[in-house]
Homo-oligomer: A and B are copies of this chain.
Amino acid sequence: MSRIRLGMVGGGSGAFIGGIHRIAARIDDRYELVAGAFSSTPEKSLSSGAELGIDPKRCYGDFAEMAKREARLKDGIEAVSIVTPNHVHFAAAREFLKRGIHVICDKPLTSTLADARKFVKAVESSDALFVLTHNYTGYPMVRQARRMVAEGAIGTLRVVQMEYPQDWLTEAVEEAGSKQAEWRTDPERSGAGGCVGDIGTHAFNLAGFVTGEQPESLAADLHTFVAGRRLDDNVHVMLRYASGARGMLWSSQVAPGHENGLRLRVFGARGGLEWAQEDPNNLWFTPFGEPKRLITRGGAGFTETIGHRTPPGHPEGYLEGFANIYAQAADLIEAHRRGQVPDHLLPDVQDGLRGVRFVEACVRSSGRNAAWVDL
């Protein structure tokens, strides 16, 4: 099977997430990066492309130009990765979707709910595929957890505890030259949510993915601890599910000692599951009335189809989880070549909309003194 011809929007020199997407695409050798609008100026895009070994003719200074030209090329890109700040996602994706080029887009979907709604329509009216890289859903033990919940291992869902603490915004690094911090704390580029949009959405998405349930309302208390910061840096949320389940979410970027502490604990009438991103090859399963069990990637009790690049005990991590998303997107794209539309577990535009709604609801609730609001 020939490699999928891939383009990229964003991800120029110095960017973080673009490099991650490129490694993720390479690990299983299903893609070939052949074009890009890596930066907002032609010069920077060209120099970034040169570092990546991209033909200069296919280094664009503008995503619209790229979409137009690539769509006309005989060997133009089949798919594009969009790895810009949030506010650019929709405008860029639209150009490719309307030309039948598949889109793999970083999260959150958009910086505004209005854009998110338009985004859904743009995807629905396109024949092309759309994948949102909520990458944590690509970790093998997260898939295992989802499967176990779906198979009834924990019984009726009761309690969902989500958390995602980090510490890198403990001080005002956005004022000290950190580009990563700058755009993430800027409402123009990130939207109305800071920490809640950047990482709260990941925790929220993960819980929905694993439990198969979505909350119907929430009460949120967003707070900004660092003086001068324009968006929230600590997020407390209580959630209620239609089924009667209850949830709690904490995300923070001012929690010293936490690097990337995404963690999910779900409890049902018959058992519990616990997973932590910093220890990703392990999944605790705690059936009520039995000893705790530790299920490992590839080990006994692991029944997933992904996560088999290396034997058990040879840790996989963030990049492999991300690569699983890309590999499954490749499966979809190849099926699309054959005219098929298989079932899949990849995050899609509806998940993206849910995430933006979650951010919007948190901001709305918090603005009303943490009143309950519908999701």
Residues of A within 8 A of B (CB): 2-3, 16, 19-20, 22-23, 26-29, 52-53, 154, 158-159, 161, 163, 166-168, 170-171, 219, 221, 223, 225, 234, 236, 238, 240, 244, 246, 248, 250, 252, 254-261, 265, 267-272, 274, 277-281, 284-296, 298-301, 309-320, 369-370, 372
Tell which of A255, A261, A279, A295 has the most Cβ of chain B within 10 Å.
Answer: A255
Residues of B within 8 A of A268 (CB): 256
Question: Is B280 a contact partner of A255 (Cβ separation < 8 A)?
Answer: no
A315 to B265, CA, bound (A): 20
Contact pick for A291, options B159, B293, B314, CB 8 Å = B293
Closest chain B residue to A296 by CB distance?
Answer: B259
Report B-chain residues with C-beta under 8 Å of the C-beta of A289: 300
Shortest A67–chain B CB gap in Å is: 25
Question: DSSP class of A's interface residues: helix, strand, loop or mixed?
Answer: loop
Q: Is the CB of B313 within 8 A of A258?
A: yes
Of all chain B residues, which has the CB nearest A23?
Answer: B27
Contact of A288 among B171, B221, B372 (CB under 8 A): B171
A273 nearest CB across to chain B (Å) = 8
> Which residue of the partner chain B has the closest CB to A221?
B238
Write out the residue numbers on chain B whose beta carbons fall within 8 Å of the beta carbon of A170.
269, 288
